[in-house]
Amino acid sequence: MSDILAIFFLIATLITAIFWIINKKQNYRFKNKKNILFNKNRKYYNFFKKTKCISYIASFFPTFIVIFIIRSFIYEPFQIPSGSMMPTLLTGDFILVEKFSYGIKDPILHYKFFDTGKPKRGDIVVFRNPYNIKIFYVKRVIGLPGDQITYDAINKIFKIQQKCYEEKYCQKNISTVHKKYELNENIKNKIQLTNNEENTTLYYVNPNNKKFIPVTFNVFQEKIDKKIFNILLSDQITDQINEYYQQEGQKKGCWIVPKNQYFMIGDNRDDSFDSRYWGFVPEKNLVGKVITIWMSFNKEENKWPVGIRLNRIGNIY
């Protein structure tokens, strides 16, 4: 949908630009005509009617070019369709993505003209699925190029070691700190896991009868580098380690992030289909950095909204 809109605004901008140029030329010709009697001379009367039509279409050009520039190079809105980033982003949140955070790209072929920055650990990023660029994901950056990442699936804690490319050992350990606290009013303490989410790993609390039952999620405060944010964890769900993406030369649950790629993960750690399962995100797939929530509807996944969460607008929790 994002690509289709980009193409639509590009075509609309080009068409209205052509009419805008024609209109400017006709206005110039019209101003240089002398003693034109529209009611008596049919030729000039028709010319006047045609000019009005062209002028009407041309009037859309400033609007289209402003929308095209802002949406293609500066900011783009996205909707959160699922709960994989809870409690930071909820289903029904509409986020604004800063597209120039990690480079200026053309909106159609996504070729980067020049860099404007690099992702940092803890950034919330919108990116294209590495295996299907038509699908957009929003996750948090955990691993940068060169990081060795080890995930303790029992305690559900990441261990990050920096600068591991061509070295037999890593130079710097980056600690992650967890602190548990009570759920706030914006977060439901029970979430119904369902199997209607496309391209996600299914979690069964009882694998014998495959029933989906309410699962209690606890909120933890996680700190990586200087970034502090909230995550969800559940004691009732065990990670499916056998489904983890296994990097060549590494054991399952351990990854070394390649050059120009990133390791992404959802804040809802037990209900997120992320880099643990499909690997790394190339830099060329990055769309931009999430900077704010500009609208939030109170809704459940795949259901109509039932209200507006005004207290979430303008915040990233």
Q: Where do the H-state alpha helices sit in the chain? A: 2-31, 42-58, 61-69, 275-278
Task: State yes or no: cis peptide before 81, omega within 30 of 0.
Answer: no
139 is annotated as an active-site residue: yes
Looking at residue 67, the DSSP 8-state letter turns out to be: H
Nearest to 78 by CA among 11, 10, 124: 124
Q: Find the catalytic residue in 72, 82, 84, 275.
A: 84
Backbone angles phi, psi at 194, to 5 degrees: -125, 170
156 is annotated as an active-site residue: no
Per this entry, what is the length of the chain?
317
Cβ proximity of 51 and 23 under 8 Å: yes
Cβ proximity of 97 and 294 under 8 Å: no
Cβ proximity of 235 and 218 under 8 Å: yes
Q: Find the catalytic residue in 139, 156, 234, 272.
A: 139
Return the active site residues. 84, 139
